C-alpha cells in the first residue's frame, strides 16, 4: 500500500528539482503543491511511474482566492491510483493577471472538457488545449462568473454579513 | 467516385456532406442536447456537441447558501436518482464536521440509495428499448418506478427532486406504510422485472440493434474518465461502493457486473444486472436493519423536534442556529464520492469556516463521459448514435449542473 510518506520520499528522489510543499488535508488525502512550470512533468511522472500509478484523473477544478495577492488562482488536480486505491491532489497557484496553465489534455483526453469548464468560469487559459472555448455559458459572455468579485444576486444586501454575527468573515461571506 | 478515403479527405468532399442539426430539442435525445453532425448519407463523419442548455450555476449558487440549502441543488443534477446525490452531499459535510452516523441511519440510506439506483437504471434500460422500437417494456417498468417514487414520498414527501435525508441522518424513521410498501415492492418487482428482461435481453432484433453500437475500449474509457456502468460495460470493475465503501456498503455482499465490448448491449446488460444486485443489497440491509436512532446527535446541524422548539428554550435556540447556519464549521477541504447512477459522483468542498462553502466543485460523471460521445459515434449510423446516447444515460441536469 502506497502511503503518503512513500509518495513524498519517492517524489524527492525522482524529481529532485521539484519545487514542492505538501500537507495532509482534512480528509486524509495528500495535497502536493507545485508550480505551473512543473505541473505537466509532475502529472506525467505520477501517471506513468510504476511506483506511483496514478492512472485516473478524477477531476480538476479552479479556485479563486482574491486575498492571496500574486497567486489568486489555483487549479487542483484530483488523481486516483486504482490499483492501490490511493488518492492525491496536486495544486498549483498563479496570478490572476497571467492566468496561463499548460493543458493536461495530452495526458488525459478527459481533461478537455474539464479545462474548458474552468476556462469558462474562471478564465484560466490552458495553453496547448485543442479547443479552448466556453462550454456551459453562452459564447458571448464577457466575464468569468465564478470569480469571487461577481455576486450572485443583489449586491447591496448585508443583513447576513458575517461581521454582524461575531465572525471574521468579510462581505463575500454574506448570502448575497 | 472514390470511396476509400471518406475520413481522410473531408475538405475535398465537403460539398457532398450534409450538416444535420440534431437537437437541441429533439424527441429522440430525451433531453436538451445539441449535436451538429456532419453526415455522409446516413453515416456520421463527425459530431460537435453543444452543452449547457440547462446550466443553472449550481457551483456559484452553492457558494452563497448554507450547507443544508445546498441539498436541493444536488437534487437537480441527476434527477433520475436524486437521493444518491443528496446523500453524497450529506456524507461530504459529515466528513468535514467529523460526524458519525448511527448504523440504522446508514442502512436506511443504503436502502433509499439502492432504490434510487434501480429507478435510474430502469429509466435507462427501458429507454434503450424504446429507441430500438420496443415501447411495451417502458410502459410496464414505469409502473414499477412509480412504486419506488411512492416509497420516497413516504419518507420525505417528494418524488423526483427528493431532498431526502438530512445532514446527520434521516429526517424521520421509516413509517409503517413504508415498511408495507417496501415489502410489497420487494415481493412483486423481481418477477415483473425478469419479465421485462426476457422481452429484450435475448431478443434477436434488440441484439442486432445493440451489439456493436457505440463501443469503447477499456483503455479509452479510462482515459476519458468513465466511471459507473459505462466503464464496467467496457470491462473495468471500478465501483466506488467497493473501492471506498461509505454508509456501511462493506457490510453487504454483492457482485460488480462487467461487460466485454463496452457497446450498447453491454451497457444494457450491466445495468440490468446491477438492478438485481441492488435488490440483493436492499434485502440484506432491510433484513438486518439495526435498531437505534435514525440520526446522529449533532444539534448544530440536525433540527430539533418541532414540539420541542415550541416548548423548550434550548431547542428553540438550536433551531434558530441551524436555520441561520450560525454553527461552527471546521476549516479544511474534503473530497467525497459516491457511486451515483452514472458513476463516481464527487463533491470537493472547501470550507473557510464560514457558514457556506468557500468553493464546492461537483465531479459530475455525465459531464465527464459525454465528451467521448463524438468519438464513439464516428462512422456509425445516425440511428445507432441515438441509441448510444440513450445507453450512456446522459442526464441533462447532471451534464450542465
Q: Which three cell numbers stand for residue A110?
A: 478527459
pLDDT in tens, A136-162: 999 999 999 999 888 876 656 565 566
Task: Chain A: give the shortest CA distance to residue B192, in Å.
Answer: 37
The band of A165, judged by pLDDT with boundaries at 50, 70 and 90, is low
Let me know if residue B353 belongs to a domain.
yes
Surface of A (49-78) touching B: CB under 8 A = 55-59, 61, 63-64, 76, 78
Q: Please return the burial class of B297, using the count of CB atoms within 10 Å of its CB with bins 0-12, 13-18 and 19+.
A: exposed
Number of folded domains in chain B?
Answer: 1
Which has more confidence, B360 or A13? B360
| Residue B124: closest CA among B340, B376, B280, B285 | B340
**How far is Cα B251 from Cα B248, in angstroms, rounded to an integer?**
6
Give chain B positions within 8 Å (CB) of A117: 367
CB-based contact A46:A56 (threshold 8 Å): no
Best residue of A29, A77, A135 to probe chain B, by most B CBs closer than 10 Å:
A135
Let me know if residue B146 belongs to a domain.
yes
Let me know if residue B123 belongs to a domain.
yes
| Residue B119: closest CA among B152, B89, B165 | B152
* Positions in chain B whose pLDDT score sits under 70: 1-15
Task: Please give the pLDDT value at position B15.
Answer: 60
For residue B24, cis peptide bond before it (omega within 30 degrees of 0): yes
Task: Chain B: give the shortest CA distance to residue A16, in Å.
Answer: 28
Task: Please give the pLDDT value at position A22.
Answer: 84
Residue A59 DSSP SS3: strand
CATH number at residue B320: 1.10.645.10
> What interface predicted TM-score (ipTM) does this complex get?
0.90
Residue B246, domain extent: 68-400
| Helix-, strand-, coil-residue percentages of chain B, each rounded to 5 | 55, 15, 35
Least confident range from A57-61, A104-108, B16-20, B208-212: namely B16-20
- Decide if B363 and A78 are in contact by the 8 Å CB cutoff: yes
Domains, chain A, in order of start with CATH, read: 17-170 (3.30.460.80)
Task: Please give the pLDDT value at position B1.
Answer: 39
The sign of the CA dihedral B22, B52, B347, A55 is: positive
Helical residues (DSSP H) of B40-102, grouped into ranges: 58-62, 67-75, 82-97
pLDDT in tens, A17-54: 776 788 888 888 999 999 999 999 999 999 998 889 99
pLDDT at A172 > cutoff 50: no
Task: Please give the pLDDT value at position B29.
Answer: 75
Let me know if residue B142 belongs to a domain.
yes
Best residue of A73, A79, A105, A175 to probe chain B, by most B CBs closer than 10 Å:
A175
Let me know if residue B278 belongs to a domain.
yes
Residue B163 DSSP SS3: coil
**How far is Cα B272 from Cα B173, in angstroms, rounded to an integer?**
30
The band of A92, judged by pLDDT with boundaries at 50, 70 and 90, is very high
Number of other residues whose CB lies within 10 A of the CB of residue B354: 20
Let me know if residue B45 belongs to a domain.
no
Let me know if residue B338 belongs to a domain.
yes
What residue of A is the nearest CA neighbor of B49?
A135
B157 φ/ψ sector (left φ>0, alpha ψ -120 to 50, else beta): left
The band of A164, judged by pLDDT with boundaries at 50, 70 and 90, is low
pLDDT at A77 > cutoff 90: yes
Number of other residues whose CB lies within 10 A of the CB of residue B328: 10
Let me know if residue B44 belongs to a domain.
no
Task: Chain A: give the shortest CA distance to residue B326, in Å.
Answer: 8
Task: Please give the pLDDT value at position A156.
Answer: 60
Amino acid at each position: 500500500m502506497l502511503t503518503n510518506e512513500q509518495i513524498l520520499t519517492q517524489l524527492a528522489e525522482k524529481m529532485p528539482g521539484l519545487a514542492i510543499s505538501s500537507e495532509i488535508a482534512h480528509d486524509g488525502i495528500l495535497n502536493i503543491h507545485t508550480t505551473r512550470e512543473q505541473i505537466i512533468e509532475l502529472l506525467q511522472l505520477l501517471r506513468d511511474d510504476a511506483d506511483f500509478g496514478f492512472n485516473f484523473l478524477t477531476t480538476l477544478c479552479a479556485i479563486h482566492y482574491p486575498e492571496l495577492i500574486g497567486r489568486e488562482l489555483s487549479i487542483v488536480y484530483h488523481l486516483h491510483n486504482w490499483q492501490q486505491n490511493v488518492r492525491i491532489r496536486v495544486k498549483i497557484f498563479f496570478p490572476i493577471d497571467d492566468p496561463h496553465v499548460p493543458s493536461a489534455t495530452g495526458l488525459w483526453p478527459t481533461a478537455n472538457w474539464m479545462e474548458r469548464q474552468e476556462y469558462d468560469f474562471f478564465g484560466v487559459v490552458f495553453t496547448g488545449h485543442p479547443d479552448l472555448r466556453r462550454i456551459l455559458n453562452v459564447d458571448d459572455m464577457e466575464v468569468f462568473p465564478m470569480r469571487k468579485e461577481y455576486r450572485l444576486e443583489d449586491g447591496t444586501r448585508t443583513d447576513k454579513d458575517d461581521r454582524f454575527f461575531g465572525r471574521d468573515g468579510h462581505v463575500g461571506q454574506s448570502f448575497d | 467516385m472514390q470511396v476509400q478515403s471518406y475520413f481522410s479527405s473531408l475538405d475535398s468532399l465537403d460539398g457532398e456532406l450534409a450538416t444535420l442539426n440534431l437537437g437541441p430539442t429533439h424527441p429522440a435525445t430525451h433531453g436538451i442536447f445539441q449535436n451538429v453532425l456532419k453526415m455522409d448519407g446516413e453515416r456520421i463523419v463527425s459530431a460537435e456537441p453543444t452543452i449547457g442548455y440547462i446550466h443553472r450555476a449550481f457551483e456559484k449558487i452553492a457558494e452563497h447558501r448554507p450547507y443544508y440549502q445546498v441539498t436541493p441543488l444536488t437534487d437537480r443534477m441527476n434527477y433520475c436518482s436524486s437521493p444518491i446525490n443528496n446523500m453524497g452531499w450529506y456524507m461530504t459535510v459529515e466528513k468535514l464536521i467529523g460526524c458519525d452516523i448511527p448504523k440504522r441511519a446508514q442502512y436506511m440510506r443504503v436502502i433509499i440509495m439502492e432504490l434510487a439506483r434501480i429507478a435510474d437504471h430502469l429509466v435507462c434500460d427501458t429507454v434503450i428499448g424504446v429507441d430500438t422500437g420496443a415501447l411495451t417494456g417502458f410502459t410496464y417498468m414505469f409502473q414499477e418506478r412509480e412504486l419506488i417514487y411512492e416509497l420516497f414520498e413516504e419518507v420525505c414527501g417528494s418524488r423526483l427532486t427528493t431532498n431526502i435525508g438530512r445532514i446527520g441522518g434521516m429526517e424521520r424513521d421509516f413509517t409503517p406504510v413504508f415498511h408495507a410498501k417496501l415489502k410489497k415492492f420487494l415481493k412483486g418487482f423481481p418477477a415483473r422485472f425478469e419479465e421485462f428482461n426476457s422481452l429484450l435481453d435475448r431478443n434477436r432484433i434488440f441484439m442486432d440493434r445493440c451489439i456493436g453500437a457505440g463501443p469503447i475500449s477499456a483503455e479509452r474509457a479510462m482515459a476519458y474518465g468513465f466511471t459507473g456502468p459505462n466503464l464496467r460495460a467496457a470491462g473495468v470493475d471500478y465501483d466506488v461502493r467497493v473501492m471506498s465503501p461509505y454508509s456501511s456498503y462493506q457490510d453487504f455482499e454483492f457482485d460488480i457486473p462487467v461487460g466485454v465490448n463496452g457497446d450498447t448491449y453491454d451497457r444494457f446488460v450491466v445495468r440490468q444486472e446491477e438492478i438485481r444486485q441492488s435488490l440483493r443489497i436492499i434485502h440484506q440491509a432491510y433484513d438486518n436493519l439495526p435498531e437505534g436512532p435514525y440520526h446522529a446527535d449533532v444539534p448544530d446541524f440536525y433540527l430539533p423536534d418541532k414540539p420541542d422548539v415550541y416548548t423548550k428554550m434550548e431547542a428553540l435556540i438550536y433551531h434558530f442556529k441551524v436555520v441561520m447556519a450560525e454553527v461552527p464549521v471546521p476549516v479544511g477541504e474534503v473530497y467525497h464520492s459516491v457511486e451515483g447512477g452514472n458513476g463516481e459522483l464527487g463533491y470537493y468542498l472547501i470550507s473557510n469556516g464560514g457558514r457556506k462553502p468557500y468553493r464546492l466543485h461537483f465531479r459530475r460523471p455525465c459531464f465527464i463521459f459525454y465528451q467521448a460521445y463524438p468519438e464513439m459515434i464516428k462512422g456509425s449510423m445516425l440511428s445507432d448514435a441515438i441509441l448510444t446516447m440513450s445507453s450512456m444515460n446522459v442526464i441533462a441536469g447532471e451534464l450542465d449542473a
